[in-house]
Amino acid sequence: MTDMVREILAFILTTSGWILVSSTLPTDYWKVSSIDGTVITTATFWSNLWKTCVTDSTGVSNCKDFPSMLALDGYIQVCRGLMIASVCLGFFGSIFALIGMKCTKIGGLDQTKARVVCFAGLNFICTGLCSLAACSLYAHRITSEFFDPMFVAQKYELGAALFIGWAGSVLCILGGLIFCLSLSDGLNQSSSPHHSNRRAFINGAVSGMSSRVVSHSQTSHNRRPDYSNTPQHFDKNVYV
């Protein structure tokens, strides 16, 4: 799988996950409960991060917004903050991903684009973690109240929004991890030409030195002393 195909796959995963996470914020059914009659369901209670509602058997819904943010339970305030942070991080992660992907013409050099894509991957990982923490905290509160025998108020079950949020969180984390792998690949590709040029320069220098040494040795070997034109002087005692 090439780097471009892998980045496109990661962008599809992260964008899909971010859309799912964003869709859970206004979704109605974070928690749901129903009162069943002998034949039909007489009333359905459901709630999300912003309001609580009840729907009767005729389909008429009566909703009530939470009156004050300061009067809310702590876990609802924490879930609101985490989900809003998740949506914002995913938005900026999408922008950085478009700038740093290799299939786009903006972003500069490959090494710079790899760093931008890695930063986008970190944003998407934080997006998935924030959404995962918010949905898990809300689900933990529902299950703890449902299985508490001392809790006598209306008991709720897990709504569809929680499962959508978990699915979007997993997609964001997987796509973010794939984006982070582009940093090592981009740095390796950017450094490989320097290493190849350096290796070629060293090999050329070594081969040049070796050829020079060989040619010098051959020249010194072929150059022999010539005594044919050298005048010979003999001493008088040479004939004795």
Q: Identify the residue whose tokens are 């040479």.
A: 238
Q: Check whether 20 has a pLDDT greater than 50.
A: yes
Within a domain: residue 104?
A: yes
Within a domain: residue 122?
A: yes
C-alpha distances (whole Å) from 45 to each of 85, 95, 131, 150, 198 are: 28, 39, 24, 21, 71
Supply the mean pLDDT for the chain: 79
Whether pTM exceeds 0.85: no
List the Cα angle 112/121/182 in 5-degree steps.
50
The number of folded domains in the chain is: 1
**CATH number, domain with residue 1:** 1.20.140.150
Within a domain: residue 194?
A: no
pLDDT single digits (tens) 69-128: 788 888 899 999 999 999 999 999 999 999 888 888 876 787 888 888 899 999 999 999
Within a domain: residue 231?
A: no
Within a domain: residue 42?
A: no
